[in-house]
Structure 1
Amino acid sequence: MKFNLLNKERITTVNHAKAKAFTMSPGEELYTAVVTTGISDSFYEKENSRLIRIKELVAVCDPEFVAKLAAYARNEMNLRSVPMVLTVELAKMISGSSIVSKTVTNVVKRADEITELLAYYQLANERKEIKKLNRLSKQIQKGLAKSFNTFDEYQFAKYNRNTEVKLKDALFLVHPKAKDESQQAIFNKIVTNTLAIPYTWETELSILGTLKFENNNARKSAFTQKWEELIESKKVGYMALMRNLRNILEANVSAQHIAMVCDYLANEKAVENSKQLPFRFLAAYREIKRTNSQFTPNLLDALEEAVTISARNIRGFDYNTSVVIACDVSGSMQKPVSAKSSVLLYDIGLMLGMLMQSRCQNVISGMFGDTWKTIHMSRRNILANVEEYYKREGEVGYATNGHLVLDDLIAKNQIVDKVMLFTDVQMWNSTSLFGSFSRSWKKYKKIAPEAKLYLFDLAGYGHQPIDIRQDDVYLLAGWSDKIFDVLNALENKETALDTINKIGL
């Protein structure tokens, strides 16, 4: 499946900054749109228009590619909502194909994703009658029936919520066949709404919050004791622990318990199993920095160690490979990745850039806006480096003059092996009608014919500032450190789509 990747008659267009750009093939555009969305507003594109564009692209892409992309987005990029969209839109396109049921089992990894997929199904099919989920796709039904067989009572109970599509509704609709008597008993409990309430750390804190205490000191003491018990029990998962670090500090737990938290955060196996998106560490780091506790430095160090561990599997480059890492800090990058997040596209670019820098032995890093500025940073302390960049972003302005990164190399006659830009790829020249990113790269290739350019697309708007698949230009997209696995594939002459097409269904 080529998806027109080798079509030399690429259509030129203009990007959101009104500068010349190049269109992508449907497969490329769908890939970049999917792995850079949380189904939320972007700077240039509202949530509904992004969803509409994804649906339109699914309709013109190869169904097997769409299925593999859904699996890639869920299992490699750790995205949850957009794989459901791809699955349902795929079912509308090829409703009778077994590819659909295989896709369902590839993307439903949590019990609540059964109901989430059905909720989107009724939305996508514009069901407004009383029985909104009538005439369910047989292949979606088949895939969900298999999914029901993969969860235990605890998992069902944990996600048995009072949503529009309830777990009981899904059970009646899908009619899964129980594997054995014990599972049939679980299905019966779903029907009668008698699933055992999971006794989790959340319920323990919730129960404590409803109790009355003699005074505020007694209340604080109770929460301190409860958090210490939870830390000792190891009931709190990795992501939940990161999100509650501030609560733990404010509960005034002992130094011994802080040490236990730090040990867990920096535990190699725990970090690897957590599959956290890199910016989650950054969000926790920032939250902790705002606390006034003698243990704040301990937790900051633990988070730095955790990020360092998470970067160990990233294949970097040795002293013989010179790399330029340029982070886009333009105005359009300063947009939250979702409505509920304080993390910006700008943060993701800096985070991925600093992760890559930590793995390179011969590296120049910096940021660009109106101007390009190199900033020398230690390859250690990844999170602190991101914060330093964050404080200095105003030093280069807010345009997207990515060509200046290349022009600086040309002016210095500096030969490097790889140029990496972490950006929303809405390049333009804010100072002149002449000159462009594409033109600067062609000029640089004359003095550095072996150089390679990597564009890390963090927004997925569907434009490129330069025609890829020629002049050693490569496109990558996404917010996860898994994006560097694609980088490694590119080093072996594969495209991002080649990597996705290798996924088994």
Structure 2
Amino acid sequence: MAKFNKKLPTGKTSPVRSKADPSATTHEGGAGHTRDAKSELFLLAVTNMVGEDTFYEAAGERDERYRDLIAAVAVADPDWTARFTAWLRSEAGMRSASVVAALEAARAMVEADVPGGRQIVADALKRADEPGEALAYWTHRYGRKMPKPVKRGIADAAKRLYSEYSLLKYDTASKAFRFGDVLNLTHPATDEDWQKSLFEHALDRRFGNVAATPANLAMVAANARLRQEAESDPSVLLNADRLKEAGFTWEDTLSLAGDRLDKARLWEAAIPSMGLFALLRNLRNFDEAGVSDTTAETAAERLTDSEQVRRSRLMPMRFLSAYRAAPSLRWSWPLEQALDASVANIPALSGRTLVLVDTSGSMNSPFSRDGSLMRWDAAVVFALALATRCDTADVVSFSSGWHRGPDSLVFPHKAGESVLAGVERWTSDGYFLNGGTDTAGAVKRHYNGHDRVVILTDEQAHWSHAGDVTAAVPARVPVYTWNLAGHRVGHAPSGERNRHTFGGLSDKAFAMISLLEQGKNATWPF
């Protein structure tokens, strides 16, 4: 029997596919592998905040690449595009990217005489302020003239999303396109009497013609009454039941009360009606106002409700951001549990796993303009979460040793440590290296018979290595790259032969590892 002269197992296939041989260079001059259009679009979309610079790409260049990709893919495969754009909003949680993708897809499909744009637009708009967002984007780029699929898709979404509560929450004077503008431009039809009244009222609000609230809009009427009463007696805002009945947001409550009421009591009235994201944003405010421990326990119960966390589809980094912002230790345990729930779908992995975390300078760039979380924060969160699901994991921070620092550091495991505590130890103990991107060197130094390798990176490998950065890993051992930036060129082949690239900030993507290692092909997550 042949011992050496035989084919090695090639493994199964995964959806993000690139050329097997280098065909371009990374931004850092390393050997790069270009991807097919769907793969490039997918990786860009799940990391794209739209209109914002990244370390290597200016916002205009990145957005143009995104528009070109979605237009090409939409015309070539409208069914795939429809599933992708809906998933991008619902599961991946990419709000602006999904709105832009749907509108640009519909536009390209109209020009190519391909049907289906209306449904793509309607399915991508999931929150009641998004029909207005869609109109704002469209008119800014293309003017007020809209093709029918775009107009009707926005109208379908408005009909589905517009309610009394959404009107009170999102129809504010700060918006360029209010509910009345959307209704006026897209003309959604409804058979529901209450919604007919709602549409008429929204138009009246927009154009200053409100005389009286329609009788069948109970929440809108309750809101008006509470506002009127609060002008002379602000204490009515301390009634949590009335706030909920009137559809008050926490912003409404604090704005209307001003400095006339104790902030702690105001928060205590508002908290029962607040959504999970609003709670996370305001933990510091609760502490600064002196909210009681009893009320804090109520908020903490929401954070520790794993089903509610999963339904919220909040990214794990939201919990890290809240953890860093909240001054009181009373939030630490609930936030740890919430983050654990948000990454609950990471599969259990047998054997030994090498987890390499790119902490080069380009990973020290923000996901969005607020700059509170960097790409390397996300990489560390997922690396440490993954490590908790492995039989044995070696977690390594790598860079290139610039600034006279180390090339890489092995992060020591601490039994029983939470992911959030691990991230804080990573930061305080200097594991963010901030040099170049010597991926090949890190793989070569730290691979030691592991059963798999996971690399969390922006893939912009350094020019010092001319070939496949995973070459030091035997072909029979799978290497999984997690792309956190969506740049055009990858650092290694992908799609087959035990080399796979994934993207996105959702734990569900990690399920592809289990599929591949069970001998199944991993398909698109939608």
Please state which band the TM-score falls in when normalised by the shorter chain: 0.7 to 0.9
2:524 matches 1:499: yes
Residues paired across the two proteins, number: 462
Q: Match for 2:485 among 455, 459, 474?
A: 459
Q: How does 1:382-397 map to 2 (within 5 A)?
A: 382-393=419-430, 396=433
Q: Match for 1:209 among 251, 258, 272?
A: 258
Contact 1:3-1:25 at 8 Å conserved across structures = no
1:25 maps to which residue? Answer: 36
Distance 1:268 1:441, change over 3 A: closer
Distance 1:7 1:262, change over 3 A: closer
Aligned partner letter, 1:280 = R
The CA deviation string for residues 414-433 of structure 1, in whole angstroms up to 9 with x for no partner, is 2111100111011125xxx4
2:150 matches 1:140: yes
Q: Distance in 1 between matches of 2:323 and 2:306?
A: 18
Q: Distance in 2 between matches of 1:175 and 1:124?
A: 21
Q: For residue 365 of structure 1, report the CA deviation from its aligned partner.
A: 0.8
Aligned-partner SS, 2:524? helix
Distance 1:144 1:493, change over 3 A: farther
2:118 matches 1:88: no
Q: How does 1:22-171 map to 2 (within 5 A)?
A: 22-39=33-50, 40-61=52-73, 62-64=76-78, 65-95=80-110, 97-125=114-142, 127=143, 133-134=144-145, 136-151=146-161, 152-162=163-173, 163-171=175-183
Contact 1:417-1:451 at 8 Å conserved across structures = yes
Contact 1:153-1:186 at 8 Å conserved across structures = yes
Q: Match for 2:325 among 274, 287, 300?
A: 287
Q: Distance in 2 between matches of 1:161 and 1:19?
A: 49
Q: Match for 1:362 among 369, 379, 392?
A: 392
Q: Distance in 2 between matches of 1:482 and 1:366?
A: 23
Q: Match for 1:229 among 258, 269, 278?
A: 269
Distance 1:304 1:210, change over 3 A: same
Distance 1:8 1:382, change over 3 A: closer
2:509 maps to which residue? Answer: 483
Q: How does 1:235-314 map to 2 (within 5 A)?
A: 235-288=273-326, 291=327, 296-314=328-346
Q: Distance in 2 between matches of 1:251 and 1:209?
A: 14
Q: For residue 145 of structure 1, report the CA deviation from its aligned partner.
A: 2.5
Distance 1:254 1:360, change over 3 A: same
1:350 maps to which residue? Answer: 380
Aligned partner letter, 1:32 = L
Q: How does 1:427-446 map to 2 (within 5 A)?
A: 427-428=461-462, 433=464, 435-436=465-466, 438=468, 441-445=470-474
Q: Relative contact order: is structure 1 or structure 2 higher (C-alpha 8 Å, sep ≥ 6)?
A: 2
Aligned partner letter, 1:28 = S
The CA deviation string for residues 262-287 of structure 1, in whole angstroms up to 9 with x for no partner, is 22211223222221101000000111
Q: Distance in 2 between matches of 1:313 and 1:342?
A: 25
- Structure 1's consecutive aligned runs of 4 or more residues displaced over 3 angstroms after TM superposition are 2-11, 392-397, 485-496
Distance 1:12 1:97, change over 3 A: closer
The CA deviation string for residues 210-248 of structure 1, in whole angstroms up to 9 with x for no partner, is 53xxxxxxx6xx1122222333xx111111111110111
Q: Distance in 2 between matches of 1:3 and 1:382?
A: 28
Q: Distance in 1 between matches of 2:264 and 2:399?
A: 47
Contact 2:358-2:379 at 8 Å conserved across structures = yes
Structure-1-length-normalised TM-score: 0.85
Q: Distance in 2 between matches of 1:254 and 1:88?
A: 46
Q: Distance in 1 between matches of 2:190 and 2:434?
A: 61
Distance 1:33 1:493, change over 3 A: farther
Q: Distance in 1 between matches of 2:514 and 2:84?
A: 18
Q: For residue 493 of structure 1, report the CA deviation from its aligned partner.
A: 5.9
2:228 maps to which residue? Answer: none
Query: In angstroms, what is the RMSD of aligned CA positions?
Result: 2.4
Aligned-partner SS, 2:258? helix
1:422 maps to which residue? Answer: 456
Aligned-partner SS, 2:396? strand
Q: Distance in 2 between matches of 1:395 and 1:355?
A: 17
Q: Distance in 1 between matches of 2:518 and 2:499?
A: 14
2:213 matches 1:177: no
Q: Distance in 1 between matches of 2:147 and 2:16?
A: 33
- Structure 1 stretch displaced more, 269-278 or 72-81: 269-278
Q: Distance in 2 between matches of 1:262 and 1:82?
A: 31
Structure-2-length-normalised TM-score: 0.82
Aligned partner letter, 2:30 = A
Q: Distance in 2 between matches of 1:391 and 1:349?
A: 16
Aligned-partner SS, 1:482? helix
Q: For residue 485 of structure 1, report the CA deviation from its aligned partner.
A: 3.5
Contact 2:365-2:375 at 8 Å conserved across structures = yes
2:432 matches 1:398: no
Aligned partner letter, 1:373 = L
Aligned partner letter, 2:470 = W
Distance 1:314 1:3, change over 3 A: closer
